[in-house]
Amino acid sequence: MVGDVKNAGGETLRIQMTHDQINDPAQMAKLKAMVDAGDKQGVKIQFTFRDNANGGGGNVLSGDKLKQAADDVKNVVSALGNHPSFVLDTFNEGGKSATQGWADMQSTLIKSARDAGYKGDIVVEDSNWGGGLTAGGESGLVKYADQLKAANGSNNPGLIGSIHEYASGADASSRLSSEIKALTSAG
């Protein structure tokens, strides 16, 4: 699979896994094999929790579910985070709106990775099912930029904001442009 991405001119392969898959040694062995292949072939392997991982389903995790997700992040980055091809994506399409709960969830997951010693890139998908301003009135990445950057800590690579823009409607390009400008302004 990694070779197919490379041969097609791609540079990143995004893999989504659930809590159960993360805790299945056979599934983790498959992920490790992909990361090893990514190291050899110069392809980034972007690991993310699937949107319904840990019972999330686009919702904001809190309490025991958030602790479980933070432990999963810690375990994955402890196992694979030292590979040059590995990139962490905190949570796919978490949160339905730009709320303090969404920001607290993302901050906890970022901090868990950094506390585990992970020094690589961290992708944070925007609120509103990943759509940010393109899907709703506010962007969690913009509204809570300072909190997310504080969770990331100093002397670490900057966070990579991710948005999902689907080219539906005549204004898709202007929505995307507005989101990029807002993210740039938020730092």
Q: What angle do CA 126, 130, 134 make, to 5 degrees?
A: 90
Residues in the chain predicted with pLDDT less than 70, given as ranges, are 51-57, 132-137, 167-169
pLDDT (0 to 100) of residue 42: 96
Fold of 2-186: TIM Barrel (3.20.20)
Other Cβ atoms closer than 10 A to 106? 28
Side chain identity at residue 32, one-letter code: K
The helix, strand and coil proportions of the chain, stated in percent and rounded to the nearest 5, come to 50, 15, 35
Q: What is the pTM of this model?
A: 0.90
